[in-house]
Each structure stands twice: as structure tokens, then as C-alpha cells.
Chain A
Amino acid sequence: MSPALPAVEGRAVQATGAGALPAAPRLRRSPWETRALRSTLLTAGAWLAAIVASVPLFSVLYMLIVRGGSRLSWEVLVELPPAGFEMGGGFGNAIVGTLVMVGLGALISVPVGIAGAVFLAELGPNSSLAAAVRFAAKTLTGLPSILAGVFAYASVVLVTGTYSAPAGAVALAVLMVPTVLLTAEEAMKMVPRITKDAAYGLGCTRSQVIWKIVLPTAMPGILTGVMLAVARAAGETAPLLFTALFSSYWLVEHGAVGLMRPTASLAVLIYNFAGMPFENQIELAWAASLVLVMIVLFINIASRLLGRRRA
């Protein structure tokens, strides 16, 4: 009995020392206590920062809807851009040009990106080639977009001798490939090991596992990456400035598709018209901005829905 007692007493003495909890707890809130005050201030600060961060987005949206919305009509969506002092007009050719170039860009970047991701995720995930490709792709995601334009200018415009939609598409594809590649790799890595084991256990070859199991299972994630890349490319101006240039005419004229010539895009039209001294063109630039933002928003929402399905 006596050997155990001193230890218990020692602990009891320690417990009544400084910093110990009072015997009768006082549980009421005391908002003016230092740590409660600090917590309140920090919470308020975080709220404020969140609001400040969203101000630009909402102010831009507000201005676009007010100034662009007033000019938005069926006419601006289907007509050609007006010349200097002309009234009316629209940017139908720029919508078509943007869709064509982004579509062509996706046509180039999606197969390359997904096939590359299959290599990174399934075929040689630990190879030194995979490490190099991952590093290159991560570097490319931060590439200033104008450099993608320089690349396409050197490799397509100089070679073909003309500004063109394919040149713009190549520039956009350079920007899209890393996003598609990295998100598709992530999506494929999320396919559980046990699911792939099941397929191998049934007698699948490696390519059957990839085609029948890995790609279908990862498809929502892959599509999300593709959509994000497309949304980014749709809004790019710099890569198109000296690859697709601009045009005041339709891509299709007299029933013939003329891809190999300067091509209009919404982003470049906004850039050109916003700097003009004519009220009509400035109004059209606002309307075109609204249309472009709506296209990007639509693609983003679509990617969310695709990503959520079956998940």
C-alpha cells in the first residue's frame, strides 16, 4: 500500500500546479478572451479574402452581361465583321473559326495526349522516358502561350507560307497536350489495381486490359481533362495572333472550304475590335467577349457533368 501511495500523491500535486484545469469547469463562451478573439479575426479575414478573390470574376461577368448583353442578337452571331465606319455586322466567322481551330487542336492533342498517358500510366510508368515526359509536360503547362504561337509560326506558317486555321490549331494543340496527358494519366492511375488484376485473371492481354478496362473506367476523368484543355484553348489569343491571324470572311466560300488562309477567332476579334476608335466595333467586342465566356463556361459545366457521371 505504502509504495503506491507516493506516486499517486506526486501526480496529484503536479495536477494542481500551473496550467491545470480548474476542478469546477466553466464552460460558458467568453468571446473577448484572447484566443477566441484571434479566431474570430482570422475567420473574418478568410471570408474577406474569399470575397476579394471573387470580385474580379463577378465584376467581369457583370460588365459582360450589361455591355455585351445589350448588343447580343441573332444578327451578331451570324454576320461578318463590319469594316471601319460600317454599322451593324457581327462575328459569325469568328465563332466558326474558334470552333474549327479548337476542334482541330483537340483532334491533334487528344489522341497524342491519351496515347501518351497510356504509356505513362500502364506501359512504362517507372521508365526514365516516362519521367522525362512527365517533367516536360509539367514544364509545358506553364509555357507562356505566345511561345506556342512562335512554335506553330516556325513549324507551320513558314513551311506552308500562309497564316491558316491548321497553324492556329497546332499552336492550340501544343497548349492542350500537357493538360490532356497529365489529367488522363491521373485518371488511369485511379483505376484500382484489383480491377486490372481481375481482367488479367480472366485471361486478358495487356492491350485488352487497357482497351476494355482501363480506358472505359478512366473515361470520365479523361473527358474532364480534355474539356479543361479545350476550354483553355478556346480563350487563348496570343498563340493565334501570328498563326491564324484574322479574317473578315467565312472559312467556307462558294461551297469550298478554305482552311489554308488567315482565319478569324473570337479572341483575336476581341483584341482587334477593343482597340478600335469605333463605337460599333467596341460594342461587338463586348458581345464577342460574352459569347466566348459563355462557350468556356458551357464547356466547363459539361466537363463537370461528365466527370460526375458514374463516379
Chain B
Amino acid sequence: MINQVATNGHATSNQNGIVIDCKLKQVYYGDFLAVRDSDVPIEKGKITGFIGPSGCGKSTVLRSLNRMNDLIRGFRFEGHVHFHGQDVYARNIDPVVLRRYIGMVFQQPNPFQMSIFDNVAFGLRLNRFRGKVGERVEQALTRAALWDEVKDKLKNNGLSLSGGQQQRLCIARAIATEPSVLLMDEPCSALDPIATRRIEELMIQLKQNYTIAIVTHNMQQAMRVADTTAFFSVEMSKGGRTGYLVEMGPTQQIFENPQQKLTKDYISGQFS
């Protein structure tokens, strides 16, 4: 019965194109309140950017969406994250299965110690993919704008590529299993401007097939790629610094006509 209601609720939100509905109340690491009160709906087929100063919890919120934070000791999530009408923090949800639907690209390029081909095929084999693995690998590498550079050396170790190529390999690896959402945690922070430009172009192409949420330190990057931007800030609280969502809206509005003074100060560089 309860599931029924949840499904109906999802059906209505689906018309607005919300694929992940995150209503975060409080996130703790041990006794430390890391993030509070952040409602972050992720729209289907769009790029949602998370910006804000260091320690504002934007990465924590992103990693809460596919329960990556479960791996951190003492992590506790209060609130809910609805994905296809199911609360991913419900007790009967297997985070391992969830992560196959919500893929992730990390800050540091982290290819596996294996060939380029095997890196991309890893997720397919994990899911016992029964089609032509080679075709899917080619498709994923093509979509990640890496195929032309690596098609003649698919047997080389993934770690032999340059940093920017490694990050595109990681993107190919993440999209090979066709997840519906791609979470990117500062994917360009370890890359030079040319590699960054390529990843950004790639994100805009990928938007056609995937929903993307990206954490970035770089406000220009958010302006360039994000359709919707969420601005987080941080305040001193007892036991440490707690992050929270200040405002979220269309990227143009956030940067040109922010509703909150905090947002305005941050994007104009006048934050303390």
C-alpha cells in the first residue's frame, strides 16, 4: 500500500522529469552533522551542477544519491532519495544493484589495472551481459570521445593513457552498462584546460542519453555545462561545519539573478 502511494507520487513527479528526488534532512558522519536540509531534484536529460565552497557538502550530497557514502564508517542519512518511485535508503534496497543504475565518475581518474577493453567491459561482465561485448565497448568508447585515440591499442593497460584520456575511459566504463544517471564528482579537477574542455563537450553530448549530476569547484564550468545549478554553503555548527543548500534554479538565473544574498556574494567572489 505504501509502495503504491510512493509509485503514484513518482508518477506525478515524473511528468516534471524528475529522475532522482533527493530530500535530504540530515547527513551525519559519526556525531558530526555534515549536511542538512537540502532538497535536490535531479531532472531527466539535464545536467545539474552542484557548486559551493569547500566543505559545503556538495560531494556528500552527490555520493548520497547512489549510496557511495555507505562505504564510509559512521555515515548516516536522514531523509529520502526517490529513484523510480523507490526510496533508495529503504531497508529492502540493495545498494549494489542501485549503483548499476546510477553510475559514477570520480575526481581522480581511476582506471583499473587492466586493458582498456577490459576496463570498459568490466561492468558488462559484472552484469553478465549477453550481447556482443565488443560492440558495446566500441559504442561506449565512441560516446566518451575516446574511440579514435585508443581503437588500435585496446589491449594496452588503461593506466598507460594520459590523465584526460583516463578520465574519458572512466566515463566510457561508467556508461557502458547504460545507467540512467551519471554522477560526476569534480571530474575535471585533476585535468588540464584542454582535457577539461573535451570532458565538458562530452557531457553536453551525453545529455541526450543520460541524466548527469556534476559537482564542480569551477563556477565557469557550471555556467558552461549545467542546465540547473544548486548552490551550497557552509555554516559553523556545534561539532564542525555543516553544509546546506542555499538555492537551486536554472543556471542562468543563479548566475545572473540569484535570489539569495549568499549566492550573489559567492558568484561575485565576495564571500568571506
Please tell me if the beta carbons of B113 and A203 are within 8 angstroms of each other in the complex: no
Partner of A213, one of B73, B106, B112, B174: B112
Please tell me if the beta carbons of A198 and B126 are within 8 angstroms of each other in the complex: no
State how many angstroms separate the Cβ of B88 from the closest Cβ of chain A: 13
Contact of B264 with A by CB under 8 A: no
Task: Give chain B residues whose Cβ lies under 8 Å from the Cβ of A202.
Answer: 99-100, 103-104, 122-123, 126, 173-174, 177
Contact of A310 with B by CB under 8 A: yes
How far is it, in angstroms, between the C-alpha of A203 and the C-alpha of B122 when the chains are bound? 10
**Among residues 164 to 209 in chain A, which have CB atoms less than 8 Å away from a CB atom of chain B?**
192, 194-195, 197-205, 208
Q: What does the 1/0 interface line of B84-120 toward A look like (CB < 8 Å)?
A: 0000000000001111100110111011111000000
How far is it, in angstroms, between the C-alpha of A122 and the C-alpha of B122 when the chains are bound? 21
Task: Give chain B residues whose Cβ lies under 8 Å from the Cβ of A208.
Answer: 126
Contact of B170 with A by CB under 8 A: yes
Contact of A224 with B by CB under 8 A: no
How far is it, in angstroms, between the C-alpha of A194 and the C-alpha of B71 when the chains are bound? 12
Please tell me if the beta carbons of A205 and B96 are within 8 angstroms of each other in the complex: yes
- If over half of A's interface residues share one DSSP class (helix, strand or loop), that class is named, otherwise mixed; here it is helix
Contact of A216 with B by CB under 8 A: yes
State how many angstroms separate the Cβ of B167 from the closest Cβ of chain A: 12
Task: Give chain A residues whose Cβ lies under 8 Å from the Cβ of B71.
Answer: 197, 200
Size of the A side of the interface (Cβ < 8 Å), in residues, is 19
State how many angstroms separate the Cβ of A199 from the closest Cβ of chain B: 7
Please tell me if the beta carbons of B126 and A201 are within 8 angstroms of each other in the complex: no
How far is it, in angstroms, between the C-alpha of A195 and the C-alpha of B109 when the chains are bound? 9
Task: Give chain B residues whose Cβ lies under 8 Å from the Cβ of A93.
Answer: none
> Residue of B at shortest CB range from A220?
B113
Contact of A217 with B by CB under 8 A: yes
> Residue of A at shortest CB range from B173?
A202
State how many angstroms separate the Cβ of B248 from the closest Cβ of chain A: 24
Task: Give chain B residues whose Cβ lies under 8 Å from the Cβ of A310.
Answer: 113, 157
How far is it, in angstroms, between the C-alpha of A241 and the C-alpha of B73 when the chains are bound? 49
Task: Give chain A residues whose Cβ lies under 8 Å from the Cβ of B98.
Answer: 203
State how many angstroms separate the Cβ of A123 from the closest Cβ of chain B: 13
Please tell me if the beta carbons of A201 and B174 are within 8 angstroms of each other in the complex: yes
Please tell me if the beta carbons of B113 and A217 are within 8 angstroms of each other in the complex: yes
Please tell me if the beta carbons of B112 and A199 are within 8 angstroms of each other in the complex: yes
Please tell me if the beta carbons of A194 and B99 are within 8 angstroms of each other in the complex: no
Please tell me if the beta carbons of B126 and A195 are within 8 angstroms of each other in the complex: no
Please tell me if the beta carbons of B174 and A197 are within 8 angstroms of each other in the complex: no
> Residue of A at shortest CB range from B109?
A194
Partner of B106, one of A201, A205, A217: A201
Task: Give chain B residues whose Cβ lies under 8 Å from the Cβ of A198.
Answer: 104, 106, 110-112, 170, 173
Instruction: State whether A203 and B68 are in contact (beta carbons under 8 Å apart), knowing that A198-B170, A217-B113 are contacts in the complex.
Output: no
Task: Give chain A residues whose Cβ lies under 8 Å from the Cβ of B173.
Answer: 198, 202
State how many angstroms separate the Cβ of B271 from the closest Cβ of chain A: 29
Contact of B66 with A by CB under 8 A: yes
How far is it, in angstroms, between the C-alpha of A42 and the C-alpha of B61 when the chains are bound? 58
Please tell me if the beta carbons of B112 and A203 are within 8 angstroms of each other in the complex: no
> Residue of B at shortest CB range from A201?
B104
Please tell me if the beta carbons of B110 and A203 are within 8 angstroms of each other in the complex: no
State how many angstroms separate the Cβ of A127 from the closest Cβ of chain B: 12
How far is it, in angstroms, between the C-alpha of A217 and the C-alpha of B112 when the chains are bound? 8
How far is it, in angstroms, between the C-alpha of A197 and the C-alpha of B107 when the chains are bound? 11
Q: What does the 1/0 interface line of B109-150 toward A look like (CB < 8 Å)?
A: 011111000000011001100000000000000000000000
> Residue of A at shortest CB range from B99?
A203
Q: What does the 1/0 interface line of A207-227 toward B look like (CB < 8 Å)?
A: 010001100110000000000
Please tell me if the beta carbons of A203 and B127 are within 8 angstroms of each other in the complex: yes
Task: Pick the most buried of B66, B71, B113: most chain A CB atoms within 10 A of its CB.
Answer: B113
State how many angstroms separate the Cβ of B103 from the closest Cβ of chain A: 7
> Residue of A at shortest CB range from B107?
A194
Partner of B99, one of A195, A201, A212, A217: A201
How far is it, in angstroms, between the C-alpha of A279 and the C-alpha of B174 when the chains are bound? 71
State how many angstroms separate the Cβ of B68 from the closest Cβ of chain A: 6
Partner of B110, one of A126, A195, A204, A205: A195
Please tell me if the beta carbons of A204 and B112 are within 8 angstroms of each other in the complex: no
Task: Give chain A residues whose Cβ lies under 8 Å from the Cβ of B73.
Answer: 126
> Residue of A at shortest CB range from B183?
A201
State how many angstroms separate the Cβ of A118 from the closest Cβ of chain B: 17
How far is it, in angstroms, between the C-alpha of A199 and the C-alpha of B113 when the chains are bound? 12
State how many angstroms separate the Cβ of B251 from the closest Cβ of chain A: 26
Please, could you name 28 A-B residue pairs with CB atoms under 8 Å apart, sorted by A? A192-B110, A194-B108, A195-B110, A195-B113, A198-B112, A198-B170, A200-B71, A200-B99, A201-B68, A201-B99, A202-B99, A202-B100, A202-B103, A202-B104, A202-B123, A202-B173, A202-B177, A203-B96, A203-B98, A203-B123, A203-B127, A203-B177, A204-B126, A205-B96, A216-B113, A216-B114, A217-B113, A310-B113
Pairs A-B, 3 closest by C-beta atoms: A203-B100, A201-B104, A194-B110
On A, residues with C-beta under 8 Å from B are 126, 192, 194-195, 197-205, 208, 212-213, 216-217, 310
Given contacts A197-B68, A197-B104, A202-B100, 16 further A-B contacts (CB under 8 A): A194-B110, A195-B110, A198-B110, A198-B111, A198-B170, A200-B71, A202-B99, A202-B173, A203-B97, A203-B123, A203-B126, A203-B177, A208-B126, A212-B126, A216-B114, A217-B113
